[in-house]
Each structure stands twice: as C-alpha cells, then as structure tokens.
Chain A
Amino acid sequence: MTLLRRSASLIGMVAIIVFFSVMKPATFPTLGNWLNISQQVSMLLVVSVAMTVVMAMGDFDLSVGAMASLAGVVAAVMFKAGFGMVPALGTALVVGVAAGVANGMLVSLAGILPFIATLATMTVLSGAAFIVSDGRTISGADIPAAFGDFARSGIAIGQDGTRVLRIPSLTIVALAVTAALWLVMEQTSYGRRLYAIGGNAEAARLAGVRVVALRLSAFVFTGAGAAIAGLMYASRVASANPIQGDGLMLTAIAAVFLGQSLTESGQPRVLATLAGVVVLGALDNGLTQMRVDSYVRQVLVGLIILLAVGASALARRRGRAG
C-alpha cells in the first residue's frame, strides 16, 4: 500500500513533467530550460530544505520569509554604508543565525508552540526589515556590481546555438546547501535524533535524546538557510526591499508537504523536498510557457498540492484500515 501511495505521487509528478514536455517539446524538456528552472527555484530550494529540518521534528518555522527579507536589506544597507562584501554578507548571516537561536529558545526552552512563536518572530523580523531599510527599496549604485553579477554568473558547460549554457551560480549554492543538509539529516546521528523527536518526542526523551537542545539547534538551520536564500534573492534582483522574501515561507512549506507524499514513512526528507521544489518550479515555468493566466496558475498549483497530499493521506488511511 505504501508502495502504491508513493508511486501514485511519483507518477503524478512525472506526469506533470511529461505533460509539459509533450505540450512544449521544443522549449520545455531542454537542458537550457532546466538550467533556467534550477536557477528560478534556487532560493526556494534553500528555504525548503532548511524547513525540512524543523519539519522532521514536527515543528514549523513561519519566520523564514521575513528572515530572508531582513537578510537582504541588512546586506544592502551595509553596502550602502560602504562596507565590503564579506562584512555585509557576514552580518546578514549572523542575523539569520541569531534569529534561529531566538526561535529555537522560544520553542524549546520557553515551550511556546512553534506556530505561535515563529508567527511572532516573523512579525518582529518583518518590522525590523522595514526599520533597517526605512521601508524603501535599496538598489542601483548602492549595490556593488559584483553582488548582482554573482546571480548572473555560472559555470559554462556548453553551447546551445548562440547561447552559452551555464550552471547558474545560484543553482550551485542551492545544491551545496541541499547536499550539506542531506548529509546532516540522513548520514549523522544528529539527523536520526531529529526524526526520533518527530516520531515521538517523549519516547525520544526517555531514550536519552536531548530534546530541548536538539530542537533549539534545528531552528538555527532555518534561520541561516533563510538568510542565505534572502541574500540569493537580493543578488538576483540586485536590490533589496523589506518584503521581497516573504512569499518564500508558504511555498517552502508546500514543497516539503509535496515531497513528504513521496516518502516511505510520510516523513519530510531532504531529497523528497528537492523533488517537491522541482515540481513547483516546473509548474510555474511550464504553465507560463503554456500562457496560462497567472491567477489560474496559482489556483492550479494549490489544487495540485492538495491532490498529491490528499492522495497520499487517503492511501495511508486505506492502508491502515486494510
């Protein structure tokens, strides 16, 4: 039954890719387009795999979008004040880590529900982003050219007609973060313990897992991941405004859920999340290429998430009953 549930979701995801490939054979299933998609989803991928870490424990972090926005404006404001790349990006990352520690403390030490704790920090971080940026978009000459150029750069791998094919730098960053978190979650006892907490926190505690410390530490991943994604976003648009990363949060949670429908145990897994992100990115790209109205596109994406997660939930229930 599990096999059926997993394969149903997998078949659905593959069907989406096949569908676009059949509808737009000349432009969708090309290497150039997939490199494109990889770049378009790079920021979402970083936030989503980081979100996977806390969701493995059954927690959430609603503050990631606001954190991404804040990281972007922190770096931009420091650029504007004349700081170089290293201190500006470093400070933004430190802010991300600090926000993660704060979230972790609220959830694990104070025992506030993650939904409420991170909703509150989301509001605080969002307000901080407005304060830091003075509510404005920081762009143009204030942003060093090298920062914006990073998102336009990549490793050349070939030629498609007149166009040079590159693996975009943002894609490389995203894959590096994904690989690192895959190692942490799948190949270390730390990761195993997080899944143990997600399975049954009380049992994990009785088995000697330091639940409080581990929960605290896990939120550092989402804080830092969100900060990295925010910097990637700022590089891509060569500017920063106090709301630009906000939309990442819900989409990231959706990607983790979508990925979850693929996994054996119904748990969030890093590679499954990667699949979820790819499907969401392919949907955006493919539906745009098919000229589907952007609002209709949004409805369709929502329905497809429901379909995948719903099918998996149904199959699981039937599996349990049978």
Chain B
Amino acid sequence: MHRLLLSTAATLTLALPAFAQDVAVITPYLAQPGTQFYVDAFSERADALGWDVNVVDTAGDVAAVISRIEDAVTQGVDAIVINVDPAQVGAGLQVAADAGIPVVGMDAGSDPLLAVNVTSDGVEMAAETANFVIDAIGGAGNVVMFTFDPFPPVQIRGAEADRIFAEHDGITVIDRITPDVSDGGIADSRAQMEAVLAANPDAGSINAVWAAWDQPALGALQAIEAAGREGEGIVITGIDANPQARDEVAKGGNFKATVAQDFAGIGAAAADAVATLLDGGSFDSDAIFVPTVLITADNAAE
C-alpha cells in the first residue's frame, strides 16, 4: 500500500508539469452545453494570453464550488471565474475578496463581491424580438404574450416587451399568459394557446405571439398548426435560439425569429475582463453585456 501510493505519487508528479497557476474557472454546470461553449472560448482566449487555466467542475454541487474557491484562494491564483448564482457562493466570494483575488462572473448574475459579470442583455433581447413583431405585422395588430415573472431573468424580458408594445398605439396585447413550466413549458403553453385560439376564432384576430423564451413559442406554434390556422400569418417569436426553435425558424413557418446568446462571446469577453483586472484595471458598471444575434430564416441554419 505504502509503495503503491508512493508510485502513484511519483506518477502524479511526472504527469503534472510545474505550471504557475493563474486562473481558476469554477462551475457546477460544465455538463450543460451553454457552459461548455463559455469555457471553451474562455480557455482559447486564455491560451492566447499565455495563462494557465484550471477548469474545475463540481458536477452540480454548489457547496463544493465554495470549497474549490477557498482552495483556489489558498493556492494564490491571480483570478477566479465562476459560472453559478453568486448569491449561493457568497461565502467563497467573501474569502476571495478578503484575499484580494478578483472574481469575474461568466453569465453568473450581478453581485457586489464580483468584479464584473459578463452576460447577455435580457432587456436588449426582448426589445429585439418585440420590435421584430411590430415590424412584421406592420405596426398594428393583436399580440399574445407568454411571460414568466417569477424568474427574474425572464421577468425583465417581459417587462421590456410590455413597455415597447405599450408605446405603439396600434398594438393590442389581447392576452398575457404565464404558462406552467413544470413540464418544460411547451405542453402547457400549447394548451393555453389553444384556449386563446378558441376564444378568437376569426382569421386575423390574432396577429402575433411574443414569447419571453422559446418553449412557449414552440407550444403556441403547435397549437396554431393543430388548429389548422398556420395560414393566417400569425407571427411567432421566442428567445434563446434552442435547437428546436432554430429548426422551426429555418423552416420558414409561423415561428419567425428568436435570439441567440453568444455563449462563446461571453466566454471570450470574460477572459478579456480577467485580463483587464490582471492589468490593474477596473469596471464602472457591474455587468458587461455581450451582443446577441437575432435568428431568422436567413441565418437559422448557421
């Protein structure tokens, strides 16, 4: 046992070149596709800048994120990047702050203990699709909204769309629906949309469906197709550009647009933010917004 351990130890030593540790990226969510895009883009930029990046995945364990932040602080890294709700890892952020090690959020949420959070602008994404809807229906018509106010990042999208629709006299919001999302959001949105269709049976009585994320948009699309009303020119928009939504947009049917967050852009911008901090710089605002991309039939296949 003793000798075995020593030889394990020797192998470990050989396997690990003596790097100077620089930046720790700590996330509980590496298995999620979005997170992988962030981390890959971050690592690529970090390589170009000559840093040593240690990516730590705690496989869903948020308390372990705190532990690994503490370890990174003990190790004396130059900066830490997290991809988790900062409110849940405050204990670790405090340790980093006490040690004077900057922490950057990669789509993490804003927190006083973060130097800055790099993310997409939810307000901007909502404005983009709301304005798309208004243009597509010629500035006037009846709109059904799907929102979800209990979840803050989605709530701000709905609020921005409310504001934009209210500014246009020709636009009437005939229903503002909060679907039950416990099944993922598609099925209940479909059921709710079927009810709206039944209540507005005349062609042209519904001109558009604006959804604060893609699932309700997909549900509404299913309801419209099932009701045989796909020929009425009802315009549907979503947000997030998930693969199913992209497929529907590419088909050129009622689902006309969605918005893609630039995950790789967020990763690269997070690396740039770390570079700024390592050079002794700082940020005026608590968030850096990375531009998003409107996905329509023209670019959905890309």
What is the interface of chain A mostly: helix, strand, loop, or mixed?
helix
Q: How far is the CA of A292 from the CA of B56 in the complex (A)?
A: 9
B75 at the interface (CB under 8 A from A): yes
Separation of A295 and B58 alpha carbons in the complex (Å): 9
Nearest chain B CB to A294 CB, angstrom units: 5
| Partner pick for B70 among A12, A40, A140, CB 8 A cutoff | A40
Q: In this assembly, does A152 line the interface, its C-beta being within 8 Å of a C-beta of chain B?
A: yes
Q: Is B185 an interface residue (CB 8 A)?
A: no
B60 to chain A, nearest CB (A): 7
Contacts of B54 in A (CB 8 A): 291
Cβ contact within 8 Å between A244 and B74: no
**Assuming A139-B87, A237-B63, A238-B91, is B1 touching A311 (CB within 8 A)?**
yes
Q: How far is the CA of A135 from the CA of B98 in the complex (A)?
A: 34
Flag A6-32 by CB within 8 Å of B: 1 or 0 each: 001101100110010001100100101
B53 to chain A, nearest CB (A): 10
- When A239-B88, A284-B67 are in contact, do A8 and B2 touch as well, CB less than 8 Å? yes
Within 8 A of B (CB), among A138-160: 139-140, 148, 151-152
B16 touches A290 (CB 8 A): yes
Contact A237 B89 (CB under 8 A): yes
A163 at the interface (CB under 8 A from B): yes
A307 and B1 contact, CB distance less than 8 A: yes
CA distance A91 to B56 in the complex (A): 35
When distances are taken between beta carbons in the complex, the residues of chain B under 8 Å from A134 are: 182
Contact code string B10-21 (vs A, CB < 8 Å = 1, else 0): 001100100101
Are B74 and A291 interface neighbours, CB within 8 A?
no
- Interface status of A82 (Cβ within 8 A of chain B): no
Do B5 and A12 touch across chains, with their CB atoms under 8 A apart? yes
Contact with B along A306-322 (1 / 0, CB 8 A): 01100100000000000
| Chain B residue contacts of A2, Cβ below 8 A | none
With contacts A151-B91, A284-B67 known, is A295 near B61, CB below 8 A? no
Q: Choose one: A135, A236, A288; the contact of B71 (CB below 8 Å).
A: A288
The one of B9, B12, B57, B94 that contacts A294, using a Cβ cutoff of 8 Å: B57
Q: Are B90's CB and A148's CB within 8 A? A: yes
B239 at the binding interface (Cβ < 8 Å):
no
Scan residues 35-66 of chain B and give those whose CB is less than 8 A from a CB of chain A.
52, 54-64, 66
Cβ distance B271 to chain A, nearest Cβ, rounded Å: 18
**A271 on the interface (CB 8 Å rule)?**
no
Residue in A closest to B19 when the chains form the complex, CB atoms: A291
Chain A neighbourhood of B66, CB < 8 A: 236-237
Taking a contact as CB atoms closer than 8 A, the residue among A233, A243, A291, A294 that contacts B21 in the complex is A291
Asked whether, in the complex, the Cβ of A289 is within 8 Å of the Cβ of B57, the reply is no
Chain A residues with CB under 8 Å of B1's CB are 8-9, 11-12, 307-308, 311
Within 8 A of B (CB), among A235-272: 236-239, 241, 243-244, 247
The reply to whether the CB of A36 lies closer than 8 angstroms to some CB of chain B is yes
Asked if A43 and B90 make an inter-chain contact with CB atoms under 8 angstroms apart, the answer reads no
Structural contact, B74 and A27, CB atoms closer than 8 A: yes
B74 lies within 8 A of A33 (CB): yes
Q: Which residues of B contact A236 (CB under 8 A)?
A: 63, 66, 91
* In the complex, A217 has a CB within 8 A of chain B: no
Question: How far does the alpha carbon of A11 sit from the alpha carbon of B9 in the complex, in Å?
Answer: 14
What residues of chain B lie closer than 8 Å to A289, measured between beta carbons? 71, 74-75
Q: Compute how far the CA of A294 lies from the CA of B285 in the bound complex, rounded to whole angstroms.
A: 33
**Known pairs A27-B76, A151-B91; A292 contacts B67 (CB<8 A):** no
Cα–Cα distance between A12 and B98 once the two chains are bound (Å): 35
Contact of B256 with A by CB under 8 A = no
Q: Report the minimum CB–CB distance from A257 to chain B (whole Å).
A: 15
Asked if B72 contacts A15 (CB within 8 A), the reply is no
Q: What B residues does A24 contact at CB under 8 A?
A: 75
Chain A CB within 10 A, most for which of B64, B90, B98: B90
8 A-B pairs with the lowest CB-CB distances in the bound complex, closest first:
A40-B67, A288-B71, A8-B1, A12-B1, A237-B88, A15-B5, A311-B1, A239-B88
18 sampled A-B residue pairs with Cβ under 8 A:
A9-B1, A12-B1, A12-B2, A16-B5, A27-B74, A135-B182, A237-B66, A239-B62, A239-B85, A247-B61, A284-B64, A288-B72, A289-B75, A291-B19, A291-B54, A294-B57, A307-B5, A311-B1
Q: A11-B1, A284-B64, A288-B71 are in contact. List 12 more A-B contacts (CB 8 A).
A: A11-B2, A12-B2, A15-B2, A19-B9, A137-B85, A236-B91, A238-B87, A239-B87, A243-B60, A244-B62, A244-B63, A294-B56
